[in-house]
Amino acid sequence: MIFDRPTSIELIEAVIDFLDSEIKSELPPHLAFKIRIVTNVLKIVQREVNLGDQLSEEAKKLIADAIEDIQDPSMNKFAEAIKNGNAELNKESLKKALIEITKSKLSVDNPNYSTYKKLVE
């Protein structure tokens, strides 16, 4: 990486802190609600920058285990294999891939979501 600090994550964190501590309290309720959406979006970006590469690599391995002879595993190819009937739907490795990849998505998109919390406990 050729860039200086702050890192991209640190930049996003600074913006989240600013919105939370200085802006939110100054706004009327309907805009405070929108700012909450904005900080939630930034937190998704923050988590994706932190975890995204690792989770995507793990997903590729899970997909390769689930679908025989798959070249260059991706979410598109995984979906296509299920659609075309090239995947054995009852196979444990397929179920595992669906479960684990979906959990990975939630760990970035919304780790507070009730079903995610239930499943990782």
Which residues in this chain contact another protein in the complex, by CB under 8 A?
30, 34, 37-38, 40-41, 44, 75-76, 78-80, 82-83, 89, 95, 97-99, 101-103, 105-106, 109-110, 113-116, 118-119
Q: Which two tokens stand for residue 77?
A: 């190819």
Cα separation of 36 and 23, whole Å? 11
| Shortest distance, position 24 Cβ to another protein, whole Å | 15
In the bound state with another protein, the residue whose beta carbon lies nearer, of 13 and 100, is 100
Quick one: how far is CA 10 from the chain centroid? 19
**66 in Cβ contact with 88 (< 8 Å):** no
In the bound state with another protein, the residue whose beta carbon lies nearer, of 13 and 35, is 35
Phi then psi for 77, rounded to 5 degrees? -70, -35
In the bound state with another protein, the residue whose beta carbon lies nearer, of 24 and 103, is 103
In the bound state with another protein, the residue whose beta carbon lies nearer, of 6 and 53, is 53
| Shortest distance, position 110 Cβ to another protein, whole Å | 6
**77 in Cβ contact with 70 (< 8 Å):** yes
